[in-house]
A and B are shown apart, each in its own frame.
Chain A
Amino acid sequence: MLNDVLYGFSVALTFQNLIYCFLGVLMGTLVGVLPGLGPTASISLLFTTTLYLSPVSGMIMLAGIYYGAQYGGSTTSILLNLPGEASSVITCLDGYQMARQGRAGPALGISAFGSFIGGTLSVIGLMLMAPPLANFALKFGFAENFSLMCLGLVIVSFLARGSMLKAMVMTALGLFLGTLGIDIMVGKPRFTFGIKSLMDGVGLIPVVMGLFGISEVLLNVEEGLSREVFKTRISNLLPSLKDWKDSLKPILRGTILGFFLGILPGGGAIVSSFTSYAVEKKLSKYPQKFGTGVIEGVAGPETANNSGSSGAFVPLLTLGIPSNAVMALLLGLLLTHGIQVGPLLLKQHSDIFWGVIVSMYIGNVMLLVLNLPLIGLWVKILKVPYGILFPFILLFCVIGSYSLNNNVEDVLLMIAFGILGYFMKKFDYEAAPMILALVLSPMMENALRQTLLTSQGSFLVFITRPISATLLFVAVILLLYPLIPWFKFRKKLEGLQTNQG
């Protein structure tokens, strides 16, 4: 293990990779600060440029954007009552109140320190947990993989913020979109309608850019995104001793909670931060004070969302299954480089595995340095009006999708998904389950067809093989769960989200 970590350092500490790590966390902080541009959209925007880098450098940079955005997102929540990221929504509650009481400094400070502690401790968790899990997954055949992906998609729907049924419909739509293009087994084009660029299937990047980039701009312009920076002098970023005493336990709890929720597909940063807030409120001696500016309400969730973003790497790096849209993009990056993603990644591409993990330590240190002394700069950037920002976001989307295959069809495909995303938002359908399904679809179909070929058409293999049966059993329980009225946890969580989010 120690050897592996040292090897990781040797990869991450090369000059080139340090630069990309820095660029990643810098851009992550930037997009985290800017409302209306999330990590998913920005990673898909920069996706094409990273194709020119080595897979390790590309992964390091994109990962940096992802966890960097969790840092930056808290800044806007605290100073503007406007979450830069969905995962910082809950920070608004107490963070903004603290800012109004003149305690913006400690609020920003504790979220940076909390993020740092959560970020680094959870990377240790990732290091300890990934290798054994990957070893276990080596036993998986086609049947197990199919069941695992089923379970993954069911969990995504289960944890969806809105209706579970709607999330499942979006999953089915994503699975369908994944089948477009030439059927690899018989070489027959499916649902391409004679469009040339659909022959290779629906590209992940135009879809993500459309759903997260374009539609977000359309909605923001329609709503007239206006913001006012809370005018306060930010002084004394270092939390006091009492602040630390109040925050220490929430930070540690947030780390553990965030990490394990982050592993779950569809979990990640958003669910972890909400859950951490709920837990802290429950355990607090003065729950009625939550929402009036208590530091625990900032420390816990801000730690949990960072920790959750490291947890999200576990299923990707060990099973090859992305747990959220960003992980789907990272999977896409590895696949474009022709890298086999799955339990063998750890053995065959240990430079990617350990290099990326160690770069996250380094990135977290960089983030601490970037965020605390430079807070004034980020506040200035906040003042860039959206009217100037959005044309450039759109331009980036257009160029990014164009440069994938150097043709306009991909751009039009992206715009189409932008329109679809706009209506999905209006009709309350979530995009994330669709993205995950789109990525998993070809693998799922292949696993299903291979299983049926070897079993001569019998579905029994899925339940006679023990691992597969267990996975499917859990999936069925989750599917039946909405019918079990006495299981009230999710209701409570929903209540919390709608009341306070």
Chain B
Amino acid sequence: MKKREKDRISALLLVVVGIAICFGSLRLSLGGFHKPGPGFFPFLVGSILGVLSFLIFLQSFKGLAGDDRKAFWPNPPRSLKMSYILIALILYAIGMNYLGFFLSTLLFLGFLLRAIEPQRWPAVLTGSILGTALFYGIFKYWLEVPFPTGILGF
């Protein structure tokens, strides 16, 4: 994707965001200059955001923008791996409440160590078990963070 195409897409998205902010602010009531309401500052900021993004959009049509033709996802297999990490993160965050901190962390570390840049099994096992125990010990017992206990009770 060319740089100017990237700019164009992102700028349009941001224009939409700016407009959405302005509408949201209107519903909050702007107040007046003498007594600004809760929507006043967001409206101001939202309109600046929208206008400036529109300028980026316009600028992308000028020849000035450099043309580095670089694929947005240059290496699809690696991008796929990256998306695994993202999925693992979300599942970990949500699953923590059900499986408990200890078990979910064990699975999370084990999966990442094995599936992304595959380590050998002994390394995966020691890494995830030691890592989980260490973090569990520090945060649960030393800093007394109340982690969710989940179905197993720890």
Contact = CB atoms under 8 A, between A and B. Distances in A.
B78 A224 contact: yes
Helix, strand, loop or mixed for chain B's interface? helix
Interface residue tally on A, bucketed by range = 35 or more
A392 to B, nearest CB: 6
Nearest to A164: B52
A165 B82 contact: no
A448 interface: yes
B52 A169 contact: yes
B33 A459 contact: yes
Q: Which one of A176, A218, A385, A449 has the highest number of Cβ atoms from chain B below 10 Å of its Cβ? A: A176
A395 B131 contact: yes
A169 B14 CA distance: 8
Interface stretch (A29-37, A125-133, A186-194): A186-194
A462 to B, nearest CB: 12
A191 B24 CA distance: 7
Contacts of B45: 172, 175-176, 179
A185 B79 CA distance: 46
Contacts of A453: 34-36
B139 interface: yes
Contact of B56 (A165, A190, A449): A165
Contacts of B119: 387-388
B51 to A, nearest CB: 9
Interface string B19-52: 0010010001000111111111110011011001
A412 B93 contact: yes
Interface residue tally on B, bucketed by range = 35 or more
Interface string B82-108: 100110011011101100000001001
Interface of A: 49, 52, 163, 165-166, 168-169, 172-173, 175-176, 179, 183, 185-186, 188, 190-191, 214, 217-219, 221-224, 385-388, 390-392, 394-395, 398-399, 402-403, 406, 408, 411-412, 415, 418-419, 423, 426-429, 444-445, 448-449, 452-453, 456-459
Interface of B: 3, 6-7, 9-10, 14, 17-18, 21, 24, 28, 32-42, 45-46, 48-49, 52-53, 55-56, 59, 72, 75, 78-79, 81-82, 85-86, 89-90, 92-94, 96-97, 105, 108-109, 112-113, 116-119, 123, 127, 131, 135, 139, 143, 145-148
